[in-house]
């Protein structure tokens, strides 16, 4: 992937890396968790569509991921993810933006909106995390496989490929690009186990009713990481929410249903000026 500008910002003693492409109103894409995750790899099939639609695409790497700092011996809390990202975005000159968040990134987008409501113009959330008790997520089969398979001497490209396949519906697994596997494996080899083992997330489900911004939620019905029933939190509590679900789709709507995700999400943001 080419055509990016790149910067890093020191926030709270940590370096947060940001890639950028395009011009226009800013849209911040916040990636999810998992071995090898990064902004560019999570949204590789969405970037150019948003740029072509006239948006400035901002692709940060959360602390512990991508090219950002990966400290050991700390708890990776939702507040840590949110505060370091918010500080880096402000250093990058972003004063207000639409937030697009997948999984953990959805939780970060929600927390940032609750903490800094003036910063968020709109929310696009794909299977967002942090809307249930953390313990309930660890009962999900996808997360159990991800945590047990990460790290150790046997972690190799085949294991990385298997972990990515767990994110998607079995029908899509044969279509996972080898370039994506290699890209995420290179990052995963630099990540400490604390990134997953010491992650601490609150349940923001009861708080989402405080979100006044328009919210668009997308969810795969075969998600093995975040239960699709979580969409009800937004539909029941938010003042301006809509939801779209996809059959035979796993945790990665923006990857498995990239063309539809791009079409509907851009239309949602366009309609809100």
Residue 2: pLDDT band with limits 50, 70, 90 = confident
Pick the CATH number of 5-271 from 3.40.50.880, 3.40.190.10, 3.40.50.2300, 3.40.50.1820: 3.40.50.1820
Q: Please say if 92 is a catalytic residue.
A: no
- CA atoms of 166 and 147, how far apart (whole Å): 12
Output the pLDDT for position 150. Answer: 67
Output the pLDDT for position 219. Answer: 98
**Tokens 């006239």 — which residue?**
54
136/80: higher pLDDT: 80
Residue 85: pLDDT band with limits 50, 70, 90 = very high
Selected catalytic residue, list 17, 169, 233, 251: 251
Residue 68's nearest CA partner among 234, 236, 190 is: 190
- What size, in residues, is the chain? 273
Contacts of 52 (CB under 8 A, 6+ apart): none
Q: What is the mean pLDDT of the chain?
A: 95
In percent, the amount of the chain with pLDDT more than 70 equals: 97
Output the pLDDT for position 79. Answer: 98
Q: Where are the domains of the chain?
A: 5-271
The model's pLDDT over 168-224, given as tens digits with 9 standing for 90+, comes to 999 999 999 999 999 999 999 999 999 999 999 999 999 999 999 999 999 999 999
CA distances to 33, 47, 103, 161, 253 from 262, rounded to whole Å, are 21, 9, 17, 25, 10
The model's pLDDT over 21-34, given as tens digits with 9 standing for 90+, comes to 999 999 999 999 99
pTM of the model: 0.96
Q: Mutual orientation of helices 141-149 and 157-167 as an angle, nearest 10°?
A: 170
């Amino acid at each position: 992937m080419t055509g990016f500008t790149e910067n890093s910002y020191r926030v709270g003693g940590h370096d947060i890396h940001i890639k950028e492409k395009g011009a226009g109103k800013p849209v911040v894409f916040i990636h999810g968790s998992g071995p090898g995750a990064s902004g560019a790899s999570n949204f590789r099939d969405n970037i150019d569509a948003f740029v072509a639609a006239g948006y400035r695409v901002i692709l940060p790497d959360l602390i512990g991921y991508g090219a950002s700092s990966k400290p050991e011996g700390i708890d990776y809390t939702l507040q840590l993810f949110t505060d370091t990202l918010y500080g880096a975005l402000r250093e990058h000159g972003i004063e207000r933006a639409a937030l697009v968040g997948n999984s953990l990134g959805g939780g970060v987008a929600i927390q940032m909106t609750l903490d800094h409501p003036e910063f968020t113009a709109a929310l696009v959330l794909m299977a967002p995390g942090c809307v249930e008790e953390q313990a309930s997520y660890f009962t999900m089969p996808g997360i159990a496989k991800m945590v047990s398979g990460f790290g150790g001497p046997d972690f190799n490209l085949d294991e990385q490929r298997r972990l990515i396949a767990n994110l998607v519906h079995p029908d899509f697994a044969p279509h996972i690009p080898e370039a994506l596997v290699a890209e995420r494996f290179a990052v995963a080899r630099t990540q400490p186990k604390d990134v997953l083992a010491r992650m601490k997330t609150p349940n923001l489900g009861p708080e989402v009713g405080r979100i006044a911004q328009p919210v668009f939620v997308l969810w795969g019905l075969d998600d093995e990481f975040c239960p699709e029933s979580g969409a009800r939190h937004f539909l029941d509590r938010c003042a301006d929410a809509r939801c779209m679900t996809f059959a035979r789709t796993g945790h990665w709507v923006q990857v498995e249903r990239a063309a539809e995700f791009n079409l509907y999400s851009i239309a949602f943001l366009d309609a809100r000026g």
